[in-house]
Structure formats: structure tokens, C-alpha cells
Amino acid sequence: MRKLKLEELNRLSVSEFQSKQKIPVIAVLDNIRSAVNVGSVFRTADAFAIEKIILCGISATPPNREITKTAIGATESVHWEHIASIKDAVAKLKADGYKILGIEQTDQSITLDKYDYSFEKIAVIFGNEVDGISDEILEDLDLSIEIPQNGTKHSLNVSVCAGIILWELSNRMQQD
């Protein structure tokens, strides 16, 4: 066994990636405090070829040194926009026909493995590292999903959570 060299990986160029068909998923970052977490989500969005990222509230936006360091170029390949208000972002996404999924532990959450992946367009909201998803949009969610956890902690880092959720959506939606 040997590790593959970078040139052996046959990666797409940025222009090839941008013209490639994406899975119809938008990641919405709701008041993410850490620019490193934002950069990690960019990198994950590139890896799984999601449609775009919407950055809301205090979430850092490119160009930003910490985002750039973590994203390692994904800010150039992944489409993104900033919408100051999470409420406005969700209203726009609903009007555009997206099913709104909140990644949050609520009294009505279902676990990730129980989600029906048959919906065509999905916007998935990842909340603040301390407070989670903004309370003001809980009523606007079509569904709340949580990742089953068996340890003593009750949450995952938002970028780890995004990695799990976006991989699962990518994997399931490409099978359909």
C-alpha cells in the first residue's frame, strides 16, 4: 500500500467543479462564531459538491484569513452568499421550494437515520456553537434532525456535525 500523490487523485479544476451538477442542498450557517468552522464547512461543501452556502448573522464571510486557512481554496469553488437575517434567508429558501431542515435537538427531532431523503431541494441549517439554531426560526423548520450520540456530551462541533450531515445527504441523494 502507498499513499496517492496529489496528481494521481484526478481532482477537478475550480471551473470544472463550478460547472459540475451539484446535489440540491444548501448549507445555511446561522451565527457561526468561529471563522475556522465556517472554513471547514466550505471545505466539506466542496468535497460533497453541494449547491451553495448561505452565511447569516455574525458568521464570517470570505475573504477572511481563518476561513481561507481552513477552506484551502474551497471559497473559490463553492458558491456562497451572505444574508444578514436568518429569518429572511429561510423565507427566501422556502419561496424557492427548499425543504428546511434544522440540525437541532428539539422535542420533535428525528434522528438522522430516520430521515426520508426523497425531497428534491433541501436547505440544512447549522446553528451557533453555543446557542444552536436561532429560536426565531424554529417555527419555520419543516423538520428538526439530530445526530444520535451515545457518549456523555450532548453536542458535536458544528463543522463535525456539518461533515456528518452533508455526507449523509450527499450519499443518500446521489442514490436516488
Distance CA 45, CA 148 (A): 22
User: Rounded to the nearest 5 degrees, what angle is found at the Cα of 161, between the Cα atoms of 136 and 39?
Assistant: 90
Is residue 42 situated within a structural domain?
yes
Instruction: Categorise residue 22: left if φ over 0, alpha if ψ from -120 to 50, beta otherwise.
Output: beta
Is residue 12 situated within a structural domain?
no
- Check: pTM over 0.85? Answer yes or no: yes
17 has a pLDDT exceeding 80: yes
Give residue 176's pLDDT: 47
Instruction: Answer whether 174's CB lies under 8 Å from 117's CB.
Output: no
Q: If pLDDT is split at 50, 70 and 90, which confidence band does 118 have?
A: confident
Summarize pLDDT for 31-81 with one digit per residue, the tens: 999 999 999 999 999 999 999 999 999 999 999 999 999 999 999 999 999
CATH number, residue 29: 3.40.1280.10
Summarize pLDDT for 137-159 with one digit per residue, the tens: 999 999 999 999 999 988 899 99
Is residue 57 situated within a structural domain?
yes
Is residue 15 situated within a structural domain?
no
Helix, strand, or coil (residue 8): helix
CB-based burial label for 85 (10 Å; 0-12, 13-18, 19+): middle
Per this entry, what is the length of the chain?
A: 176
Query: By residue range, what is the domain housing residue 75?
Result: 20-175
Q: How many domains does the chain have?
A: 1
Q: If pLDDT is split at 50, 70 and 90, which confidence band does 119 have?
A: confident
Is residue 137 situated within a structural domain?
yes
Is residue 47 situated within a structural domain?
yes
Is residue 1 situated within a structural domain?
no
What number of CA atoms fall less than 13 Å from residue 133's CA on the CB side?
26
Give residue 120's pLDDT: 86
